[in-house]
Amino acid sequence: MIELNSEIIVEDLEEKTRLDVFLSEETGWSRSQVKLQIDGERALVNGVSRKAGFLIKNGDVVSLSFSKEILEINAEAEDIPLDIVYEDDDFAIINKPQGMVVHPAPGAYNHTLVNALLYHFENLSASNDKIRPGIVHRIDKDTSGLLVVAKNDKAHESLAKQIAEHSCFRHYLALLEGNLKTDSGTVDTFISRSKNDRKMMAVSEDGKRAITHYTVLERFGDYCLVEFVLETGRTHQIRVHSKHLGHPIVGDKTYGIKNQKFKLDGQLLHAYKLELTHPTTGKRMAFECEIPDYFTKILNKLKNK
């Protein structure tokens, strides 16, 4: 695996320049290769992950951790069972199980949702790249629940636009440690890569704006069941905001408490509802799925107690 790790201080630019264009000229890599690295958050501008089209200026600091390994990934079809909640010619709604990675990446080349999609669907959008066909948005490996998959580029563009414009509503259920003081509220912060651990995200003074709405559905003394609705979709957003509130998600190995009471494989966070507008008909649609058994068992224990 060939890596390119460096820090570049931008200077001598006559005008603001696209990040992918700048890095292609600096590294000698093609723009498509550079975009894969940028999409994999391997190029940070002033410590913040940006899009390929982000305009950089003199004085900016671009930190690289490029890897040839990510360029060698070519997703292949695998016969993996899928819980398909809905499907038509434009898109499908998938109920992803906990433990499944959404798309191939270094360290997880096979057994991902994309590998399963390539087996089950003849057509998928190509709006992203060869390792993420059909993927409009993601949910974490250890988060379960609904996500939408585009089956053609036109649908992909429409669905991605809805997410960007906050007209596609994503509802989550989570069990939190302790009890929130208020029954409902909104967390409005900025989120960026943690300065202490690049694998983690953190509330910061810069980064990207992150807005999460929450409502307490049930209280159990030492825990509370909460509904979260995303207005934005930053990496680990609900998990980071839960920690920021002082009540991390039960089972969260990254942002949760050290001494977990329950033996779990991941956080009790489930994307149970998805609302969107059909890309072709314009009809407003809503989809729901049940809470996984391991989540329900914990809730029943708390209720009985």
**Residue of higher predicted confidence among 293 and 103:** 293
Write the DSSP string, 248-273. PBTT-TTTS-SS-SS--SS--EEEEE
Residue 132 pLDDT: 82
Which 3 state secondary structure label does DSSP give 20? helix
Mean pLDDT score across all residues of the chain: 91
State the CATH class of domain 73-165: alpha beta
Identical topology for domains 73-165 and 171-271+295-304: yes
Model confidence band, residue 71 (pLDDT cutoffs 50, 70, 90): low
Q: Cα(58)–Cα(56) distance, rounded to whole angstroms?
A: 7
- Cβ count near 159 (within 10 Å): 24
Cβ contacts of residue 20 below 8 Å, gap of 6+?
31, 34, 35, 38, 52, 53
What percent of the chain has a predicted confidence (pLDDT) above 90? 70
What average pLDDT does range 200-222 have in this prediction?
Answer: 93
- Of 147-151, 206-210, 252-256, 276-280, which range is least confident? 206-210
Residue 3 pLDDT: 54
What average pLDDT does range 277-305 have in this prediction?
Answer: 96
What average pLDDT does range 62-81 have in this prediction?
Answer: 80
Residue 107 pLDDT: 64
Q: Are 148 and 139 in contact (CB under 8 A)?
A: no
Q: What is the pLDDT of residues 132-182, one digit of tens each?
A: 899 999 999 999 999 999 999 999 999 999 998 999 999 999 999 999 999
Residue 1 pLDDT: 39
What average pLDDT does range 213-237 have in this prediction?
Answer: 95
The fold of the 3-72 domain, in CATH, is: 3.10.290
Q: Are 189 and 241 in contact (CB under 8 A)?
A: yes
Half-sphere exposure of 273 (CA within 13 A, CB side): 12
Model confidence band, residue 2 (pLDDT cutoffs 50, 70, 90): very low
140, 188, 206, 293: which one is catalytic?
Answer: 140
Q: What is the DSSP letter of 135?
A: B
Cβ contacts of residue 234 below 8 Å, gap of 6+?
191, 201, 208, 210, 240
Is 222 assigned a catalytic role?
no
Residue 118 pLDDT: 94
Q: Hey, where are the domains in the chain?
A: 3-72, 73-165, 171-271+295-304
Q: What is the pTM of this model?
A: 0.79
What average pLDDT does range 203-227 have in this prediction?
Answer: 94
**Residue of higher predicted confidence among 57 and 31:** 57
What average pLDDT does range 38-43 have in this prediction?
Answer: 88
Question: Which superfamily does 171-271+295-304 belong to?
Answer: Pseudouridine synthase (3.30.2350.10)
The Cα diameter of the chain in Å comes to 68
Which 3 state secondary structure label does DSSP give 201? strand
Q: Are 238 and 174 in contact (CB under 8 A)?
A: yes
Amino acid at 249: I
